[in-house]
Structure 1
Amino acid sequence: MSLIFLFVFLQLGEIQNEWLQELYKTIHCYKPQFIALHFQEVGGKDYMVNMGHAENFFCIESSEEMKDYDRVCIYVDNQFQAEDSFTALGSMYFIHKTLKNIYQYDFNDMAHCFLVTHSNLSLLQFKWSRKGFMRTRWIIHNQGLDLVNVHLFHDASNLIACNSSPSIYSANRKNALRYVINRISDSCYTPLPFFLFGDFNFRLDTLSLVQHLSTSADVQTVKKDCSNEVEKIICEEKDNDHQVLLHIEEKLFTYLHQAVFREDNGRALLKYDKEAAAFQDVIREEDITFPPSYPYSEEYTKPTQYMNTRCPAWCDRILMSHTAQEFTHKVSQCLLAFDLPFKIHSNVH
């Protein structure tokens, strides 16, 4: 018997009703027996103020649209007072009334009941707040699997990201993801097929991309007066009245021909998407057939345009172990609510 799973992940700051309606439409279309919602940034950046508001989202379990899902498991790390361990992760699982043969694993009692484990990345030298992973283990129709909610480190500075290939941020994410995979594959528990999905913050190889985009441009590096530190990188077209082609600062990334990130779903840029390739020994993913998932504009009138803060990238991913692929059949991925007027940071599987 084949089952339909729906995997959704998003930044849970302030969820708008329009997004919920798109979620309900997706559920109605696919009619999944099992739904996994993985949230990052529960409460948003101002989580101390917004945590209560964000948790109101979990009331969707009692909505009319979800009435056929008679079992719901919710796990939220809302302990923001514990800064050294706070992950701001949340996971929500809906089980359809027709799905009977399902159990969840208790990692403490090593038996099948309801519990969850989670961890921040505090054992790594580059610990940052609101990052980590949350893991649940399931047996569904006698098939065991782990579902892991992941949020890895972002690029703090576009300029630093341009310094090397791969960037220091990419190296940090590589170490962090290897740590997560090792944790869920260690000998403490029987290794099972797993799905990792969330905000990996994977970025394009910025240095290589910038070199490619500025091949026919004059490149000017501007440094601060008081130091030798680079303040901005400006690439001007050699003709066309020296129009600025590319302008990069710490938190600014503007490219004149932004359509390249959307045309053919950004396929021409996939060769610069290299971070997942380092884990081909243990994980795989389906072909990417959607445009870069980050950072979409928050302006109401520009829902499909990217903000000029970061280089667009496929930050949000669904990865799976090779063993998980063996029992996975037809897979599709897309951006959920692509045309809604707020920043989209989510995928659907």
Structure 2
Amino acid sequence: FPSSYPLPKFCVSSYFSHTLLLTDFPETVQTHKPHFVALHCQEVGGKNYEASMAHVDCFVKELLSSEALKEYSRARVYLDENYKCQESFTALGSFYFIHDSLKSIQQFDFKAKKFRKVVGRETCTETLEHTPMLEKEKFPQDYFPEVRTRRTVDSFDLVNIHLFHDASNIVACEKSPSVYSGTRQKALGYVLDRITDQRHERLPFFLFGDFNFRLDAKQVIESFCSTATVQTVRAADTNEVDKLIFRETENDRKVVLQLEKKLFNYVNQDVFRENNGTSLLEFDREPSVFKDRLSELEISFPPSYPYSEDSSQGKEYMNTRCPAWCDRIVMCPSARDLVLKPENEEKSVVYDNIGPNVCMGDHKVTTASTHKTRIELPCV
């Protein structure tokens, strides 16, 4: 690209359900009209892979044939569908759409170590390990997977990631930070080291997917239940803590919070929606460990998880976990510089989630899009 080439409008999103893929996602594309779209999915095929994976190919065909994408004649779709090989199965899906107005777009061949021109639409499934156009890696047992592709809209890496969840609310609130937070920190550090190692030229990168970042449960509970008394219920057979019940000291000892392994039933769910729940960002501490390596736009949208899976309750959270901003779009400092140059208008970049009134599974979709941005690019 020549110097001062205008950076195309682009949109990156993470975690899409079938409903959103075929309705809200095309609508979002039509609204923003991006030149380049990157869509990262986790748990492709749903939680029951064996029963649902057979439908994924149909979803992809419907998506590619949608009216909103007719001007995106170049596309790359990478789906890890090989659930029978658990040693390498990641359940990740990465979709990339390039508008016809963009010329000479190239993608990096990790095997040949050079860029290749992107032509037509291609879908790759199951054999991702043998695809030279991406790097796929499943972490050891205590990690979760990641997939990387590299493109030249400007030259940058796009990384799809899915980190470890909180298996038990009881365990999560035992200490601050939680043991689960430590596991995610270790895994994310591993990914960052891999992205920035010496195997390939180091480029700006965008990292987006389900990080499973959670609020500091111990600190949240202490804030919510500062004047409450706690009743501990133990399992009869193991004597392990089975339930924590927090009651007001007055007001007929009303239950404020009931906590179990997969229950987080707080009396006032509105706190997670008022002012988009941003008063709780002080407890969103997991990303701060990487503040020197990762950057994120300002969060001004509600926690992305766990929403009700009842189709009539698109705005409601489930009482299974403490709501948190699990689905994120982060970038290295040089990638941030690409989209937030001082001369650009602040409103040219939007960081939000979509489908606030739509049931799309237990996650809402996090998106970032840029408009009217110009950057200096070296010749390629």
TM-score interval, smaller chain = over 0.9
1:101, CA displacement in angstroms? 3.0
Q: Pick from 98, 104, 111 the counterpart of residue 108 of structure 1.
A: 111
Q: 2:295: which partner in 1?
A: 284
1:19, CA displacement in angstroms? 5.5
1:345, CA displacement in angstroms? 3.2
Q: 1:20: which partner in 2?
A: 22
Q: 1:347: which partner in 2?
A: 366
Q: Pick from 350, 371, 378 the counterpart of residue 332 of structure 1.
A: 350
Q: Pick from 148, 163, 167 the counterpart of residue 135 of structure 1.
A: 148
Whole-Å separation in 2 of the counterparts to 1:333 and 1:255: 28
Q: Which amino acid aligns with 2:15?
A: L
Whole-Å separation in 2 of the counterparts to 1:134 and 1:201: 16
RMSD between aligned residues: 1.3
Using CA pairs below 8 Å that are at least 6 residues apart, which structure has the higher relative contact order? 2
Contact 1:137 1:145 in 2 (8 A): yes
Whole-Å separation in 1 of the counterparts to 2:227 and 2:100: 60
Contact 2:355 2:364 in 1 (8 A): no
Q: 1:10: which partner in 2?
A: 15
Stretch moving more, 334-343 or 89-98: 334-343
Whole-Å separation in 2 of the counterparts to 1:287 and 1:213: 24
Unmatched tracts of structure 2, length 5 or more: 1-5, 119-132, 341-347, 369-380
Q: Which amino acid aligns with 1:210?
A: I
1:341, CA displacement in angstroms? 2.7
Whole-Å separation in 1 of the counterparts to 2:41 and 2:91: 8
Contact 1:252 1:310 in 2 (8 A): yes
Contact 2:178 2:216 in 1 (8 A): yes
Q: 1:73: which partner in 2?
A: 76
For the residue of structure 1 that corresponds to 2:237, the secondary structure is: coil
Whole-Å separation in 2 of the counterparts to 1:346 and 1:175: 25
After superposition, residues 151-170 of structure 1 pair within 5 angstroms as 151-170=162-181
Q: 2:142: which partner in 1?
A: 126
Contact 2:72 2:100 in 1 (8 A): yes
Deviations 1:87-141 (A, max 9, x none): 000101000000113100010110112611111112xx514xxx3111000112x
1:11, CA displacement in angstroms? 4.6
Contact 1:11 1:41 in 2 (8 A): no
Q: 1:94: which partner in 2?
A: 97
Q: Pick from 182, 199, 213 the counterpart of residue 210 of structure 2.
A: 199
Whole-Å separation in 2 of the counterparts to 1:183 and 1:56: 34
Is residue 83 from structure 1 mapped to residue 86 from structure 2 by the alignment? yes
Q: Which amino acid aligns with 1:307?
A: M
Task: Flag as ranges the 4+ runs of structure 1 deviating above 3 A.
Answer: none
Whole-Å separation in 1 of the counterparts to 2:57 and 2:92: 12
After superposition, residues 263-342 of structure 1 pair within 5 angstroms as 263-329=274-340, 330-342=348-360
Q: Which amino acid aligns with 2:357?
A: D
Deviations 1:133-154 (A, max 9, x none): 11000112xx310000010000
Deviations 1:263-317 (A, max 9, x none): 0011110000001110011111001010000000011232111001111000000
Q: Which amino acid aligns with 2:136?
A: H
Contact 2:26 2:66 in 1 (8 A): no
Q: 2:123: which partner in 1?
A: none
Between the aligned residues of both structures, percent identity stands at: 44
TM-score by length of 1: 0.94
Contact 1:165 1:206 in 2 (8 A): yes
For the residue of structure 1 that corresponds to 2:87, the secondary structure is: coil
1:24, CA displacement in angstroms? 1.9
Whole-Å separation in 2 of the counterparts to 1:268 and 1:198: 23
Stretch moving more, 111-120 or 287-296: 111-120
How many residues of Structure 1 are paired with residues of Structure 2 in the alignment?
339
Whole-Å separation in 2 of the counterparts to 1:92 and 1:226: 48
1:21, CA displacement in angstroms? 2.2
1:52, CA displacement in angstroms? 1.6
Q: Which amino acid aligns with 2:101?
A: T
Stretch moving more, 275-284 or 296-305: 296-305
Whole-Å separation in 1 of the counterparts to 2:360 and 2:29: 21
Contact 2:16 2:360 in 1 (8 A): no
Unmatched tracts of structure 1, length 5 or more: none
TM-score by length of 2: 0.87
Stretch moving more, 167-176 or 2-11: 2-11
For the residue of structure 2 that corresponds to 1:44, the secondary structure is: coil
Whole-Å separation in 2 of the counterparts to 1:341 and 1:151: 21
